Amino acid sequence: MKKASVELNGATILVTGSPGFIGANLVLRLLKELKGGTVVSLDNLNAYYDPALKRYRLDRIEAAAVSSAARHVFIEGSIADRALVEDVFATHRPSVVVNLAAQAGVRYSIDHPDAYIESNLVGFFNVLEACRRHPVEHLVYASSSSVYGGNKKVPFSTDDAVDHPVSLYAATKKADELLAHSYAKLYDIPCTGLRFFTVYGPAGRPDMFYYSATRKLAAGGTIDIFNYGNCQRDFTYIDDIVEGVCRVMRGAPARAVGEDGLPVAPYALYNIGGGRPQNLLDFIATLQKALVDAGVLPADYDFAAHQRLVPMQPGDVPVTFADSAPLERDFGFTPSVGIAEGLKRFAEWYGEYHGRGR
Q: How far is CA 130 from CA 12, 79, 153, 188, in A?
A: 15, 11, 37, 13
Q: What angle do CA 306, 308, 314 make, to 5 degrees?
A: 135
The whole-angstrom separation of Cα 320 and Cα 277 is: 7
What region, left, alpha or beta, does residue 83 occupy, with left being phi > 0 and alpha being psi -120 to 50 degrees?
A: alpha
268 sits in which H/E element: strand 267-272
Identity of the residue numbered 198: T
Residues 167, 315 contacting (CB under 8 angstroms): yes
CA 328, chain centre distance (Å): 19
Instruction: Describe the chain by its helix, strand, coil percentages, rounded to 5.
Output: 45, 20, 40
What letter would DSSP give residue 69?
Answer: S
13 sits in which H/E element: strand 12-16
Catalytic status, residue 169: yes
- The residues, ordered by sequence, that sit 6+ positions from 328 with a Cβ below 8 Å of its Cβ are 334
Q: How far is CA 345 from CA 1, 293, 307, 327, in A?
A: 36, 11, 23, 25
DSSP letters for 324-355: -HHHHHHH-------HHHHHHHHHHHHHHHH-
DSSP letters for 110-170: HH-HHHHIIIIIIIHHHHHHHHHHS--SEEEEEEEGGGGTT--SSSB-TTS-----SSHHH
From 169, 200, 237, 350, active-site residue: 169
Residues 158, 130 contacting (CB under 8 angstroms): no
Residues that are catalytic: 169
